């Protein structure tokens, strides 16, 4: 015998949307999947040097080094069974959005 149940969606007060260009992680000692979602970006310069004229107009005359950084946005821990389900869901959504499946070889 089966029955229907309703699941209602809600968001925590800390809910936020983040951007990610990649992931880095692996299997934890307890067997869970741990990974960080990150973005690759050019960091802000260490400093800006401005020239201020007698009319208080500014002109940039120098700046410090801007490094390329891989900035972790969030860390996630998943049980392996949940990681597999989420991974399949992500692949389905990526294919629906037009991504090419690079795991399938062309004949």
Domain map of the chain by residue range?
22-96
What is the tally of helices (H) and strands (E) in the chain? 1, 5
Cβ neighbours around 96 below 10 Å, total: 8
Mean pLDDT estimate for the chain: 92
The whole-number pLDDT of residue 107 equals 54
pLDDT band at 99 (very low <50, low <70, confident <90, very high): confident
| Secondary structure string (H, E, C) spanning 34-72 | EEEEEEEEECCCCCEEEEECCCCCEEEEEECCCCEEEEE
Q: CA of 1: how far to CAs of 5, 28, 90, in Å?
A: 13, 39, 32
In the predicted structure, residue 106 carries a pLDDT above the cut 70: no
Once rounded to an integer, what is the mean pLDDT over residues 15-31? Answer: 95
Among 10-14, 57-61, 95-99, the minimum mean pLDDT is found in 95-99
Q: What is the pTM of this model?
A: 0.70
């Amino acid at each position: 015998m089966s029955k229907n149940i309703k699941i209602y969606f809600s968001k925590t007060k800390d809910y936020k949307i983040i951007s990610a260009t990649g992931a880095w992680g692996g299997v934890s000692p307890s067997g869970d999947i741990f990974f960080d979602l990150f973005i690759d970006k050019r960091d802000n310069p260490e400093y800006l040097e401005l020239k201020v004229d007698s009319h208080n107009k500014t002109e940039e005359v120098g700046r410090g080094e801007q490094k390329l950084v891989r900035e972790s946005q969030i860390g996630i821990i998943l049980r392996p069974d949940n990681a597999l389900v989420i991974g399949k869901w992500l692949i389905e959504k990526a294919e629906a959005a037009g991504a090419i499946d690079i795991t399938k070889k062309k004949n």
